[in-house]
């Protein structure tokens, strides 16, 4: 993308705030349209990923194999002109394979730091729950602090920095549950389900026309974003007006999980922060000039589902977390603006 203010794919920082907001919304919606050229259906998941990108948070996508989790991230990476790296998590992956390590240089007789793949803008942590907790925890510092400590030196990660992790359901053999401290670092947890019948027909039709075996090609997608554009979107979203009643609603939702019947563990303050940040991102994505309660409600399941725990009796009965959270959303009154 060009730096010219007339470039339709750029956000001009010198334009009036309303013009900036309008341009940012158009860019976000163009990105959504481009992603759907590769990802058939899965509208909620695509919008969730874009919400995380605009809100500046990390996202965890869960689903059984073959639903297109990795394809979605590859498609976003294709539309993004910054740096992209992929880590395939396996049981023998070491923490240093993620963050980097010091190596001894025989010529200079000194240790030199070799940076790992986390030093990028977009990081795909593929099948993150295939690696043990110790290796998963190697991402904790960089996800929260945007830096990695190697040999006593704090090295900053590039900006923007976004981790997009995929995982298969924990019930499958050979997987490790993510530690709660790491789960809390993910702003959103998105669940990818089987496509609708008409979507699967379209998917099969498109894939079988390709020379590739069983995946859609992302090479035809346009590059719409550079690193500076992502940062511009994040700044514009963070400045969207938010009424105190909407802020109070977001906090009440998070706090209600801590005493809600059937929940043994409620969401912490990070959930309240994530609800507000994601609501602003959703408002920008839909082209709104300010945040409304539906923006908060629309992202609540994805923000809360991985931060709460069912009581043992409901867990044994097979009650779904989303089912309980949906009841909470229906019973906590939203403000009328």
What are the pLDDT digits (tens) for 198-221? Answer: 877 887 887 777 665 545 667 778
What are the pLDDT digits (tens) for 304-313? Answer: 999 999 888 8
What is the structure's pLDDT at 303?
95
Its sign, for the CA torsion 119, 120, 122, 127, is negative
Residue 188 and residue 57 in contact, taking contact as beta carbons nearer than 8 Å: yes
What are the pLDDT digits (tens) for 213-250? Answer: 545 667 778 888 888 888 899 999 999 999 999 999 99
Its sign, for the CA torsion 301, 64, 165, 40, is negative
Q: Is the peptide bond before 160 cis (omega within 30 degrees of 0)?
A: yes
What is the full per-residue pLDDT of the chain (337 aa) written as tens digits?
Answer: 444 333 555 665 556 667 788 888 899 999 999 888 888 888 888 999 999 999 999 999 988 777 777 788 888 888 888 788 889 998 888 888 888 877 766 776 666 778 888 888 889 898 888 888 888 888 888 888 888 887 777 888 888 899 989 887 765 666 778 878 788 889 999 988 887 888 778 878 877 776 655 456 677 788 888 888 888 999 999 999 999 999 999 999 999 999 999 888 889 999 999 999 999 999 999 988 899 999 999 999 999 999 999 888 888 887 888 999 999 999 999 888 7
What is the structure's pLDDT at 252?
95
Domains and CATH numbers, the chain: 1-239 (3.40.50.300), 241-337 (1.10.8.80)
Neighbours of 298 (CB within 10 A): 20
Q: How far apart are the first and last CA of the chain?
A: 39
- Its pTM stands at 0.84
104 has which bridge partners? Answer: 111
d(CA 89, CA 136): 9
Name the CA dihedral angle for 188, 286, 50, 27, rounded to a multiple of 10 degrees. -160
Its sign, for the CA torsion 327, 308, 292, 76, is negative
**In 83-94, which positions are buried (b, 16+ CB within 10 angstroms) versus exposed (e)?**
ebebbebeeebe
């Amino acid at each position: 993308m060009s730096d010219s203010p007339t470039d339709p794919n750029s956000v001009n920082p010198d334009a009036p705030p309303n013009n900036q907001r309008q341009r940012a919304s158009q860019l976000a919606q163009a990105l959504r349209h481009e992603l759907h050229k590769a990802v058939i259906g899965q509208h909620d998941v695509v919008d969730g990923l874009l919400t995380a990108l605009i809100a500046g948070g990390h996202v965890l996508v869960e689903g059984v194999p073959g639903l297109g989790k990795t394809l979605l991230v590859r498609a976003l990476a294709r539309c993004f002109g910054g740096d992209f790296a992929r880590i395939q998590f396996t049981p023998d992956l070491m923490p240093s394979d993620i963050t980097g390590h010091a190596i001894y240089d025989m010529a200079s007789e000194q240790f030199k730091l070799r940076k790992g793949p986390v030093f990028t803008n977009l990081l795909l942590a593929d099948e993150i729950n295939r690696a043990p907790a110790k290796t998963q925890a190697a991402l904790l510092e960089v996800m929260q602090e945007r830096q990695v400590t190697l040999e006593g030196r704090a090295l900053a990660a590039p900006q923007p920095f976004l981790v997009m992790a995929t995982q298969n359901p924990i019930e499958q053999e050979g997987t490790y549950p993510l530690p709660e401290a790491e789960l809390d670092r993910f702003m959103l947890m998105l669940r990818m389900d089987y496509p609708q019948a008409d979507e699967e027909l379209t998917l099969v039709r498109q894939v079988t026309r390709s020379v590739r075996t069983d995946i859609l090609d992302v090479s035809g997608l346009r590059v719409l974003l550079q690193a500076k554009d992502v940062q511009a979107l994040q700044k514009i979203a963070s400045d969207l007006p938010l009424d105190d009643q909407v802020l109070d609603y977001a906090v009440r939702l998070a706090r209600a999980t801590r005493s809600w019947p059937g929940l043994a563990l409620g969401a912490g303050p990070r959930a309240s922060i994530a609800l507000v940040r994601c609501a602003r991102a959703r408002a920008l994505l839909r082209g709104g000039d300010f945040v409304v309660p539906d923006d908060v409600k629309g992202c609540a399941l994805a923000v809360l589902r991985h931060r709460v725990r069912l009581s043992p009796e409901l867990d044994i009965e097979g009650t779904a977390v989303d089912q309980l959270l949906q009841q909470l959303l229906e019973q906590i009154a939203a403000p009328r603006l």
